[in-house]
């Protein structure tokens, strides 16, 4: 079965970079699909942040474009989120998820989420 698991620091200081890892098991991230980061703010608003496709191409939410980078390590079947110059507004639960552009066209598998607080 496909499983995704987020990991990373739960606390980041303002102006620093937020770095998270999503480890995928049960499916190769180079086979197909696009691999996404989505966050949920306190108050429950969901925001799509971006993805890296199976081929390595990326797409980012323009609202984050200058601060975000999504990369991958295919040998470990992991993909990563880096968000620079964070502020308290970046406090959220961060999810990784799989998107099937050639299939359901929806996010069919999600990680459990990791909570990140931005605070000094």
Partner 1 sequence: DIVLTQSPASLAVSLGQRATISCRASESVDSYGNSFMHWYQQKPGQPPKLLIYRASNLESGIPARFSGSGSRTDFTLTINPVEADDVATYYCQQSNEDPFTFGSGTKLEIK
Query: Which stretches within 3-83 are classed as H helix?
Result: none
For partner 1, give the closer residue by CB, 44 or 120: 44
Nearest CA among 113, 115, 36, 45 for reference residue 81: 36
Confirm or reject binding of residue 106 to partner 1 (CB under 8 A).
yes
User: Site map for partner 1, 50-89, x if CB under 8 A?
Assistant: ---------x-xxx--------------------------
Nearest CA among 107, 42, 108, 16 for reference residue 8: 16
Q: How far apart are CA 70 and CA 39, in angstroms?
A: 14
Instruction: State the minimum distance, in angstroms, from the CB of residue 106 to partner 1.
Output: 4
Candidates 83, 97, 116, 118; binder of partner 1 (CB under 8 A) is 97
For partner 1, give the closer residue by CB, 73 or 103: 103
Cα–Cα distances in Å, from 102 out to 14, 99, 109, 110? Answer: 39, 9, 15, 18
Question: Could you tell me how many residues of this chain bind partner 1 (CB under 8 A)?
Answer: 22
Q: Could you say which DSSP state residue 90 is in? A: G
User: For residues 21-50, which are near partner 1 according to CB under 8 A?
Assistant: 44-48
Binding-site ranges for partner 1 (CB under 8 A): 44-48, 59, 61-63, 95, 97, 99, 101, 104-108, 110-113
């Amino acid at each position: 079965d496909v499983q995704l698991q987020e990991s990373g620091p739960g606390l980041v200081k303002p102006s620093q970079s937020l770095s998270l890892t999503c480890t995928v098991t049960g499916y190769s991230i180079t086979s197909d699909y696009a691999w996404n980061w989505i966050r949920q703010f306190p108050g429950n608003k969901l925001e799509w942040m971006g993805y890296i496709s199976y081929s390595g191409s990326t797409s980012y939410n323009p609202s984050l474009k200058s601060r975000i980078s999504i990369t991958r390590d295919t040998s470990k079947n992991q993909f990563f989120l880096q968000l620079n110059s964070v502020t308290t507004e970046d406090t959220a639960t961060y999810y990784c998820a799989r998107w099937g552009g050639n299939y359901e066209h929806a996010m069919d598998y999600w990680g459990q989420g990791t909570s990140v607080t931005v605070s000094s």
